[in-house]
Structure 1
Amino acid sequence: MKYLILSDIHSNIQALNKVVDNEKYDRIIFLGDIIGYGADPFLCYKKFLELGGESAMGNHEYGVLNPLSLMNFSENARLGVLHTIKNLPEEYVNHMRNLPEYIQLDDCIFCHSMLDQPLDFSYVFPEDKDSIFLLASYRRMSELGAKIMFTGHTHKPCIFKMTGNEGVEIYPSKDGDIYLDDKLYIINVGSVGQSRNSIPKAHYAVYDTDERKVSFKSVDYNIREAAGRIEEEGLPELLAKRLYLGI
């Protein structure tokens, strides 16, 4: 089985289309934040549903459903969610209500953020190997019988490997393959629609369960068009500029 794993699309239909057209896979799983920030939430959610509609709940979906949570958002993020609310039909919002906190398939878990309290949407960045949220996620993985968790949220791809006695090793990810041993892994696949690792591309991962191989990948997409759409919709200029910079 080859899983195509996508996170943080953020209403960037240009990036989403390019990734899906670029890959061969058996099943596609989203890790949340299909919407928010970008110009085209309707087109992205429509495409997501056409691709099977399997996703964990992201904090931007949660913001659409629970507007009080927008108090914890930055101004740019809040404006992106409000733009989404104006542009999504009721049937899409109703589908969004049923997104799970996480998806478990055999020994794999797919979750937007950390696993212990998924709807708290805690941030664990690549340098945070001693994070209490990371260690709590490993403990929850063990309880669920999972060996690997795929996550997003920070927009920064990386690999966390549990080495024993709650020791964690961190590996920065570059495009390429890694083969997993019998340790526990938490793997951030990065962002399709709004990269923040200074590489302005669409980032994602493919997991081959037969080979236990994770392939980190990225593709160029039409940033000019995506940024232009943000400007057309009257969203903050920064949201367009950062696509060119990958920050």
Structure 2
Amino acid sequence: MRLALLTDLHANREAVEACLAHAERQHIDQYAFTGDFVGYGADPAWVVRTVMAYVARGAVAVQGNHDYAVTRPPSARMHAEAREVIAWTGGQLDAEQLAFLAALPLIQRHGHACFVHASAHAPERWEYVTGIAEAERSIRASGSRIVFSGHVHAPALYRRADDGRMGRHVPQAGEAVPLQPQHQYLVLPGAVGQPRDQNNAACYAVFDDAAREIQYFRVPYDHGVAARKVIAAGLPIVFAMRLVEGI
């Protein structure tokens, strides 16, 4: 089975369309969306509706912190600009879309795989997996051979060897990384809708369980259009600049 992994879509229609079109050419059997479908971008209704359609056809989806926030009272944990977008987003979604986001699970396990937006260790705390210690904590808590997550907005791959040693790999675009069956892995595909690794091309990954490999992709898209839509919607200009600069 070939599984397309998309995370942190962040209401960016142009990036989502580009990644889904690219994935359709990769002979994908299944899709997984690991959270943050809203926030930052100007097309939350279109993105949520698209994810809902994929879920109706059997895709996996879990809740991200922005999806959680838009269905609940404002949280002081979010910075002011993000809260402003969340408040605006709530007015863009209909009741069915809000109910869909509210009902999403924080974590799903299927076979040897675990799907979670942040860390499998206390996923409701939205911990960022930015290093070896956080990755090991998530892998151990998952009870799974492979963990697929997001939240970090940059691609990475962590390995926990059968002797307990941890390792980290920064994948390159188009690189297919072989996975050893005796090890455990944590896969961060990078963000579809708001990359933050000095590269404004959208990110996603494909896991092939038969070939035992993960392949990372960068997909250029019209980030200028997406940025102008953010500005036209009256949202904080910083989120438009991030799309252009990839930070």
Interval of TM-score (by shorter of Structure 1 and Structure 2): over 0.9
Q: 1:105 aligns with which of 93, 107, 110?
A: 110
SS in 2 for 1:136: helix
TM-score, normalised relative to structure 2: 0.93
The residue that corresponds to 1:139 in the other structure is: 140
What is the distance in 1 between the residues matched to 2:212 and 2:108? 18
What displacement does 1:167 show? Answer: 2.8
Write the mapping of 1:83-232 to structure 2, written as runs, cut at 5 A: 83-125=88-130, 128-131=131-134, 134-142=135-143, 146-164=144-162, 166-175=164-173, 176-181=175-180, 182-232=182-232
What displacement does 1:214 show? Answer: 0.6
What is the distance in 2 between the residues matched to 1:236 and 1:216? 30
The residue type equivalent to 1:162 in the other structure is: R
The residue that corresponds to 2:64 in the other structure is: 58
What is the distance in 2 between the residues matched to 1:229 and 1:18? 16
Where in structure 2 are there 5+ consecutive unaligned residues? none
The residue that corresponds to 2:245 in the other structure is: 245
What is the distance in 2 between the residues matched to 1:73 and 1:241? 19
C-alpha contact 1:37 1:79 (8 A) present in aligned 2: no
C-alpha contact 1:13 1:44 (8 A) present in aligned 2: yes
The residue that corresponds to 1:27 in the other structure is: 30
1:55-91 alpha-carbon deviations (Å, 9 max, x no partner): 11100011012224x2101122111211210100011
Structure 1 stretch displaced more, 191-200 or 103-112:
103-112
What displacement does 1:166 show? Answer: 4.0
What displacement does 1:223 show? Answer: 0.7
What is the distance in 1 between the residues matched to 2:12 and 2:41? 6
What is the distance in 1 between the residues matched to 2:152 and 2:15? 18
1:150-176 alpha-carbon deviations (Å, 9 max, x no partner): 111010110111125543111112111
C-alpha contact 1:135 1:166 (8 A) present in aligned 2: no
SS in 2 for 1:135: helix
C-alpha contact 2:139 2:146 (8 A) present in aligned 1: no
Aligned pair count?
239
1:49 matched to 2:47? no
Where in structure 1 are there 5+ consecutive unaligned residues? none
The residue type equivalent to 2:136 in the other structure is: L
What is the distance in 2 between the residues matched to 1:67 and 1:58? 16
What is the distance in 1 between the residues matched to 2:81 and 2:161? 38
| Superposition misfits of 4+ residues, deviation over 4 angstroms | none
CA RMSD of aligned residues (A): 1.3
Question: % of aligned pairs identical?
Answer: 28
